[in-house]
Every structure is written in structure tokens, then in C-alpha cells.
Amino acid sequence: DVKVTQSSRYLVKRTGEKVFLECVQDMDHENMFWYRQDPGLGLRLIYFSYDVKMKEKGDIPEGYSVSREKKERFSLILESASTNQTSMYLCASSLGSSSGNTIYFGEGSWLTVV
């Protein structure tokens, strides 16, 4: 069965802390994504990776970076957390052979920055 696992479901961090959100998929997918979801704004793409060590900025990359050292793992990094980064973060993956593949999501990580 398809699985995207986000290691932390709930985190509380202080302003200025460095935060790592980890995501692992077990489907050998080429594409991995990080979204954030906020009320009234929907899902917005932060970063996208189409292969190991490859990344592409999404719509709202400011304040974030990513790392993909292995195919199955895609990490989102908040270099210096701020209160406006309080949100639900969703990781997803899909096959990369062509457009139009089903995308699979993790359960989400709720981040509160105080």
C-alpha cells in the first residue's frame, strides 16, 4: 500500500529556531512536494523535487529550504522560524514519468511557532 510518512505530526517551536520537517515515501516516486495549508488560502506549493538533489521553487519558497539526498526522503527546513510560518505542512509524492500521475499525501505536520 502507498505510504507517505511525515515523522512529526505536532511541533511547537520558538521564533528563530531552525526547524526540520521530514518526509519519507516508500513508492520509489521521483517527484516529491512540500505544501502548506492555511484557512482561506488553500494549499500552496513551497518546493518541489523531481529527482535526488534536484529542487524547484514553488509559489512561496521564501523562508524555506529543502534537501533531497535520497530518493525516498524530502526534508523541509525553516532556517529561522517565524510566527507567520505557523501552519499545517503537507508532504506529497508522485511518479515522475509523465504528467498526470496520482499524487499521494502524508498525514500532515502541524507547526506552531511561538
What lies within 8 Å, CB to CB, of 62 at 6+ separation is none
Q: Which of residues 44-83 bind another protein (CB under 8 A)?
A: 45, 48, 50, 58
8 binds another protein (CB under 8 A): no
Is residue 31 at the binding interface for another protein, with CB under 8 A as the rule?
A: yes
Q: Which amino acid is at 105?
A: F
Q: Smallest gap, in angstroms, from Cβ of residue 84 to another protein?
A: 19
Q: Which of 26, 51, 79, 107 binds another protein (CB under 8 A)?
A: 107
Q: Does 4 bind another protein (CB under 8 A)?
A: yes
Q: Is 77 helix (H, G, I), strand (E, B) or coil?
A: strand
- In whole angstroms, the minimum distance from the beta carbon of 16 to another protein comes to 27
Which of 2/16 has CB closer to another protein? 2
Cα–Cα distance list, 10 to 14, 17, 58, 104, 111 (Å): 14, 16, 24, 20, 6
Q: How far apart are CA 105 and CA 26, in angstroms?
A: 12
What's the CA gap between 52 and 41, in Å, rounded? 30
Judged by the rule CB under 8 A, the positions of this chain that interact with another protein are 4, 31, 33, 35, 40-43, 45, 48, 50, 58, 90, 92, 94, 96, 99-108, 110
